[in-house]
Amino acid sequence: MIDGESAARGNVAQAGNGRADGALSARGNRPSGGDRREFDLPRIERAVREILIAIGEDPERDGLRDTPARVARAYAEQFAGLRQRPEDVLTTVFDADHDEMVIVRDIELYGTCEHHLLPFIGVAHIGYIPNQKGQITGLSKLARLVDVYARRPQVQERMTSQIADALVHTLEPRGVVVVIEAEHLCMTMRGVRKPGARTVTSAVRGAFRDNNVTRAEAMSLIYGRH
């Protein structure tokens, strides 16, 4: 667990240690290798139509006639991350001769829980210490990396580790910290129905795991509000 301050902000799930091994799909939820099939919109439309019938609705009535097609198009966007890899977005690296931490916080994310296909909404905070060459990536690339993993059927705990491991594998930084805070509609609108409950997950790698002072500094920058 990252000190005491994170635990006070929600249900903290400390992600595991380890370096990504090139085959990130082995830890994740997308087909491995070159299997990146096109989105099958007609199949989704047929499935949505069947769901509407199964719940007792009439898919031919005015309000629902175009719903299967709308859902199919929405799913194509909502799960676009299944056809993306971290290498697709972490393409820009600059020689900045920078050896201190870089943190981008409050990156908005919209994910879909794989257990009920309901949304979870929150923010990601990402920090890293550049590699020995002092190389950095574009700041917007970190936000795009979050989208790669959020836009697929997902669990927050896995996504947190995937983002951290992708950064380690692609940028080879000296340290990485990822913290995600999110509210899950599967808890808010069904089941226990506890709106406002937020889950906090973290993944730390390298210097952030090995050095308590470095980790504490990162957490103070992430949770410090101005």
DSSP state of 9: G
Contact status, residue 68 vs residue 45, Cβ threshold 8 Å:
yes
User: Which of the residues are catalytic?
Assistant: 113-116, 156, 184, 186
191, 116 contact by CB (below 8 A)? no
**What backbone phi and psi angles, to 5 degrees, belong to 187?**
-95, -25
Question: Which residue's structure tokens are 């916080």?
Answer: 105
Whether 116 contacts 190, CB under 8 Å: yes
Are β-strands 119-129 and 175-184 bridged in parallel, bridged antiparallel, or unpaired?
A: antiparallel
Query: Order of strands across the sheet with 119-129?
Result: 11-14, 199-206, 175-184, 119-129, 102-113, 153-154
Q: How many helices (H) and strands (E) does the chain have?
A: 8, 8
Among candidate residues 48, 80, 92, 217, the one with its CA nearest the CA of residue 147: 80
Cα 14 to chain center, whole Å?
15
